[in-house]
Amino acid sequence: MKKILMAILFTSLLIVSACSADSEDNNSMKQSDSDMKMEGMNGSNNGMNMGGMGHGTENLKELNNSTGENELNVPPILNSNKKEGNNVYYTVDAQKGKTEIFKGFETNTLGYNSSFLGPVIELEKGQNVQIKTKNSLDEVTTFHWHGLEIAGNGDGGPHSIIKPGESKNVNFKVEQDAATLWFHPHPMEATATQVFDGLAGLIYIKDDKEKQLAIPQDYGKNDFPLVVQDKSFDKNKQFNYDEVFNPDGTTGDTLLVNGTVNPRLTVEKEKVRLRLLNGSNMRNYVFKLNNNQAFQQIASDGGLLNEPEELTEIRLTPGERAEIIVDFSKVNDGEEVSLVTEEGTVVLPFKIKDTVTKESENLPEKMNNISINEEERSKEVTKKIELFGMGEHVTINGKKFDMNRIDFTQNKGETEVWEIYNKPDMMGGMIHPFHLHGAQFKVISINGKEPPANEKGYKDTIALDPKDKVKIAVKFNKPGTYMFHCHILEHEENGMMGQVKVQ
């Protein structure tokens, strides 16, 4: 009964929103684009009703548990082409390949400088960086540096198309603090598929301040990236995005960490730093340890928190990062420890080496010095962003993305207060992770209250539950046109994106 009622509600909602979409000046290109997607959607057995009804939760595919049979892939640190004093040169090549994700099967995948996913680009604060971006795919792409403070013309948004076979140099100076960032494509209509098929890499920014802190920083020994993504494979073990496409966000039943299926991570009895990235198209995760052991969060999207924050679970929505410290010297002998989701899905079992406990220093008490100053706190809201809708009918401030429309302007170096509101619909609404390009922001308040301690650091992506109203302090240090959007990649593709021009 409840289901039928929901279906009626949903159908009428569709009609209402379809009407309002018609009244907007949608151009014909967009119209045909959405027709195209509708077709793909109806063709899947995960049809319209499921997609919409689920509101991003009911329709989630159930995830497998990692059996732990494969040691986790640790992505290589990208070698520079050349280093001259403070100048460093890299090449990042988007390419197609085949990857043996499952033993005995070759999956067609995309990757940066490899067949699948990408390396870690390790940059030092203060460096002048040149990245030659090369498109070896047979479709257009862009190179977007998620979380990086870079001028708009190097940011790799949907305007910065690189055609197959072409290259472009991107130049910037690293002026932000140590942080774990990432990069991925951002072309109109193909971001979600290209990420799903494997285009995603990491950027580590390093600085002297961080290096002096007593936190694990030995890459691949006690400091590991964990790129968590849910994928689907067809019976031939291929990605088949169209088959599993869902307009409210495509999910999969197979968890990959750094591209490894059924991963395990071998660690020593010491403090280990895990740099978590939710690189999924839409799935949210609440991560915890199966034994409920506490861990310390030391960094958010934009770098170190002021102090390590003790937590027993952490939620990451698509695009968000968190660095956590798990102390394996505290684990009882013989105890099995895994990173799990709140539903109990095993993401990553740990294999703790039978070696002596390494005495490691306590984590530093103070790591950073970020605060909301009086000026920021008392400033009026100058930009309001209303996230609304679901599926094909998502909007920001009632509008769909238009490449030729600038939604806001802001002066470089000037702090403004943005208010983001997740307006619920008649079915309640869903979580939208709001992401801003080109700047790291500070969270002033969530529903009028101070943010939790682990959201008091710099962020570039923030989850809004339905009805949430979030105030953020935004300052762009570089000029250009930047995107802001929902990081559910299908919502972004469906037009839940706008542009701010900074000069």
Tokens standing for 410? Answer: 């802001």
In this structure, what are the phi and psi dihedrals at residue 4, rounded to the nearest 5 degrees? -65, -45
Q: List the x/- string, 135-154, binding to Cu ion by CB under 5 A.
A: -----------x--------
Q: Is 192 or 261 the residue whose CB approaches ligand C2O more closely?
A: 192
Q: Does 302 bind ligand C2O (CB under 6 A)?
A: no
Residue 432 binding target from Cu ion, ligand C2O, none, CB below 5 to 8 Å by type: Cu ion
Q: Does 437 bind Cu ion (CB under 5 A)?
A: yes
Burial of 390 (0-12, 13-18, 19+ CB in 10 A): buried
* By CB under 5 A, residue 500 contacts Cu ion: no
Q: Are 315 and 285 in contact (CB under 8 A)?
A: yes
Interface with ligand C2O: number of residues (CB under 6 A): 10
At closest approach, how far in Å is the CB of 213 from Cu ion? Answer: 27
For residue 319, the partner it binds in ligand C2O, Cu ion, none, with Cβ less than 5 to 8 A by kind, is ligand C2O
Q: Which does 134 bind (CB under 5 to 8 A by kind): ligand C2O, Cu ion, none?
A: none
Query: Rounded to the nearest 5°, which phi and psi values hold at 455?
Result: -115, 20
Q: Which stretch binds ligand C2O (CB under 6 A): 19-27, 211-219, 400-408, 481-489?
A: 481-489
Q: Compare residues 101 and 148 and give the one whose CB is closer to ligand C2O.
A: 148
Residue 485 near ligand C2O by CB under 6 A:
yes
Q: How far is the CB of 120 from ligand C2O (least distance, A)?
A: 16
Site for Cu ion contains 432 (CB under 5 A): yes
Helices (H) and strands (E) in the chain, counts: 8, 32
Amino acid at position 174, single letter: V
Residue from the set 190, 486, 500, 502 that interacts with Cu ion by CB under 5 A:
486
CB of 158 within 8 A of CB of 484? no
Which three-class secondary structure state does DSSP give residue 53?
Answer: helix
Residue closer to ligand C2O by CB (options 127, 499) is 499
Among 345, 255, 362, residue whose Cα is nearest residue 307:
362
Stretch that binds Cu ion, among 292-300, 402-410, 415-423, 437-445 (CB under 5 A): 437-445
For 292-309, letters b (16+ CB in 10 Å) and e give: eeebbbbbbbbbbbebbb
Q: What angle do CA 456, 503, 388 make, to 5 degrees?
A: 55
Q: Which two tokens stand for residue 124?
A: 């030092």
Number of residues this chain uses to bind Cu ion (CB under 5 A): 6
Closer residue to ligand C2O (CB): 269 or 437 = 437
Minimum gap (Å) between residue 432 Cβ and ligand C2O: 13
Q: How far apart are CA 30 and CA 37, in angstroms?
A: 11
Shortest distance, position 144 Cβ to ligand C2O, whole Å:
6
Task: Rule CB under 6 A: choose which of 37, 55, 134, 146 binds ligand C2O.
Answer: 146
Q: Between 368 and 387, how does the x/- string for binding to Cu ion read (CB under 5 A)? A: --------------------
Q: Which stretch binds ligand C2O (CB under 6 A): 19-27, 258-266, 275-283, 479-487?
A: 479-487
Closer residue to ligand C2O (CB): 186 or 264: 186
Question: 477-494: b or e for each residue (b if 16 or more CB lie within 10 Å)?
Answer: ebbbbbbbbbbbbbbbbb
Query: Scanning residues 316 to 355, which ones bind ligand C2O (CB under 6 A)?
Result: 319
Q: Degrees (nearest 5) of the Cα angle 396, 398, 401?
A: 55
181 binds Cu ion (CB under 5 A): no
Which listed range, 34-42, 68-76, 133-141, 483-491, lies at the site for ligand C2O (CB under 6 A)?
A: 483-491
CA-CA distance, 152 to 488, in Å (whole number)?
A: 22
Choosing from 37, 159, 186, 400, the residue that interacts with ligand C2O (CB under 6 A) is 186
Burial 118-148 (b: 16+ CB within 10 A, else e): bbbbbbbbebebbbebbbbbeebbbbbbbbb
* Contact between residue 159 and residue 453 where contact means Cβ atoms under 8 Å apart: no
Q: How far is CA 276 from CA 209, 223, 224, 302, in A?
A: 21, 11, 9, 13
Window 400-459: residues binding ligand C2O (CB under 6 A): 435, 437
Position of minimal CB gap to ligand C2O: 146
Q: How far is CA 419 from the centre of its chain?
A: 21
Strands (E), 179-335: 179-184, 201-206, 223-231, 254-257, 260-261, 263-267, 271-278, 285-289, 295-300, 303-311, 313-316, 321-327
Q: C-beta of 395: minimal distance to ligand C2O in Å?
A: 17
CB of 410 to ligand C2O, least distance (A): 17
Measured in residues, the chain has a length of: 503
In whole angstroms, how close is the CB of 332 to Cu ion at the nearest point? 41
Which CB sits closer to ligand C2O, 111 or 318?
Answer: 318
48 binds Cu ion (CB under 5 A): no
Q: Which stretch binds Cu ion (CB under 5 A): 224-232, 290-298, 347-355, 425-433?
A: 425-433
Report if residue 491 touches ligand C2O, rule: CB under 6 A: no
Site for ligand C2O, rule CB under 6 A: 144, 146, 184, 186, 319, 435, 437, 483, 485, 487
Site for Cu ion, rule CB under 5 A: 146, 432, 437, 486, 488, 491
